């Protein structure tokens, strides 16, 4: 009997380990957390759910701690990935940046234009133009992982590089267009912390603790400066060393990236989904669902992303400025372009910034993001599933 119990425990532990190490695990957990929020928001537990999010701890609500605090750690991971890919990864040369670069530009511009088309006559909703411009890398790569060997590795690299450039654009948009009243004193504090980080970097410090301590102060000053606090995560990442102090040592950037990635995948992003996906559908009419904001967001994500990403990628390839991903067909490139319409995490994040103080508009954003992302995921997955054998040429 003990042997049977041990076998059961080992088998269960193996299943859990296999799930956690799966590329699609993060997306699955995020989907479950978001679905739980939607269900709770449409039951008698709705008041308790909203009460939990609006409870104050240490001067900030739980919702703000998640969106301004924990998400800064998520943006730190994004920044680490950006730095690594730009220096030693899939974006380390101009030739490698060409195809995802063109695709990212199209994938941000066209969705924004579609949103503007539907909201041009309303200055209040027009400020949400950037909501459909973002791609959720975790979800999109999770869908690709479910398809396994049907999708060539080159397309996964292309999507990863595109999403990273997309994230760079999203961070720039947040910093430039969704900044409140600026405090020059707090920006001076931000500058001082950046100078300290630069000093640590130039001095060859490879211990992570000094960087993280200064990063915590950087986050505080950024929070109080009027620039969104999550930008601190990106800035901190830029100063984390990519080289260890010996040839055999693991680089501080890699140690930090590997250390925080599981927490972000299985705690921070699910918490974000749980806190931000809950939308009450009861009492909504067709007119509510067909309002300019949800329609602009949904169509921007589904149609805008595929038109922009595939259109500019194809143009770059035809003009000889870039090459099609190795062993991929045009239909597979198109399928990945459709998957880029999964904008869940970043789109919801930007929606909260664009319509802070307007909960009814935030709910409309949630509807549009959920609709556009779900359709993009399903259609993109079907296209890739039935796109046939990959081509044997990268031309």
DSSP per-residue letters across 221-236: HHHHHSS-TTHHHHHH
- Angle of CA points 83, 313, 392, to nearest 5°: 100
Q: Would you say how long the chain is, in residues?
A: 395
Q: What single DSSP character describes residue 181?
A: S
Q: How far apart are CA 192 and CA 217, in angstroms?
A: 10
> Would the pTM count as exceeding 0.85?
no
pLDDT at 13 over 60: no
Domains in the chain, CATH or no CATH each: 11-179+228-386 (1.20.1530.10)
The mean per-residue pLDDT over the stretch 364-385 comes to 94
Q: How far apart are CA 297 and CA 302, in angstroms?
A: 9
Name the nearest CA neighbour of 74 among 203, 190, 197, 171: 171
User: 241 and 251 in contact (C-beta within 8 Å)?
Assistant: yes
SS3 60: strand
pLDDT at 390 over 60: no
Q: How far apart are CA 18 and CA 20, in angstroms?
A: 6
Per-residue model confidence as pLDDT tens digits over 277-323: 888 887 777 787 899 999 999 999 999 999 999 999 999 999 999 99
Name the nearest CA neighbour of 81 among 273, 304, 242: 242
Task: Name 246's Cβ contacts closer than 8 Å, sequence gap at least 6.
Answer: none
User: 348 and 369 in contact (C-beta within 8 Å)?
Assistant: yes
pLDDT band at 371 (very low <50, low <70, confident <90, very high): very high
The mean per-residue pLDDT over the stretch 15-22 comes to 56
Question: In the prediction, which pLDDT does 24 show?
Answer: 66
Place of tokens 């530009």: 105
User: How far does the chain reach from its first CA to its final CA, in angstroms?
Assistant: 61
Beta-bridge partners for 56: 61
């Amino acid at each position: 009997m003990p042997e049977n119990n041990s076998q059961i425990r080992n088998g269960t532990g193996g299943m859990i380990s296999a799930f956690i190490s799966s590329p699609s695990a993060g997306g699955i957990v995020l989907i479950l957390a978001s679905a739980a929020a939607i269900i709770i928001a449409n039951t008698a537990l709705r008041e308790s759910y909203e009460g939990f999010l609006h409870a104050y701890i240490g001067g900030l609500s739980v919702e703000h701690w998640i969106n301004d605090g924990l998400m800064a750690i998520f943006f730190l991971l994004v920044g680490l990935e950006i730095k690594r890919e730009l220096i030693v990864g899939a974006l380390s040369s101009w030739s490698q940046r060409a195809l995802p670069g063109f695709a990212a530009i199209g994938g941000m511009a066209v969705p924004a234009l579609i949103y503007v088309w539907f909201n041009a006559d309303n200055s209040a909703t027009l400020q949400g133009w950037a909501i459909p411009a973002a791609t959720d890398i975790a979800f999109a790569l999770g869908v690709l992982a479910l398809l396994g060997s049907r999708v060539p590795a080159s397309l996964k690299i292309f999507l990863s590089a595109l999403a990273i450039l997309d994230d760079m654009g999203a961070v720039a948009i947040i910093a430039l267009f969704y900044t409140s009243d600026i405090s020059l004193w707090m920006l001076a504090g931000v500058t001082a912390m950046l100078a300290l980080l630069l000093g640590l970097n130039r001095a060859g410090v490879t211990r992570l603790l000094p960087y993280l301590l200064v990063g915590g102060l950087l986050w505080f000053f950024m929070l109080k400066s009027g620039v969104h606090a999550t930008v601190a995560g990106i800035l901190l990442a830029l100063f984390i060393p990519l080289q260890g102090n010996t040839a055999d040592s693991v680089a501080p950037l890699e140690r930090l990236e590997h250390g925080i990635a599981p927490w972000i995948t299985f705690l921070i992003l699910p918490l974000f989904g749980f806190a931000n996906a809950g939308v009450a559908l009861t009492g909504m009419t067709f007119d509510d669902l067909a309002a300019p904001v949800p329609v602009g967001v949904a169509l921007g994500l589904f149609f805008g992303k595929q038109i922009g990403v595939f259109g500019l990628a194809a143009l770059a390839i035809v003009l000889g400025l870039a090459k099609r991903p190795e062993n991929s067909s045009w239909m597979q490139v198109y399928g990945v372009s459709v998957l880029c319409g999964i904008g869940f995490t970043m789109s919801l994040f930007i929606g909260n910034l664009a319509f802070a103080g307007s909960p009814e508009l935030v709910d409309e954003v949630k509807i549009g993001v959920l609709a556009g992302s779900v359709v993009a995921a399903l259609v993109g997955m079907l296209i890739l599933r039935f796109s046939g054998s990959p081509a044997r040429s990268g031309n």
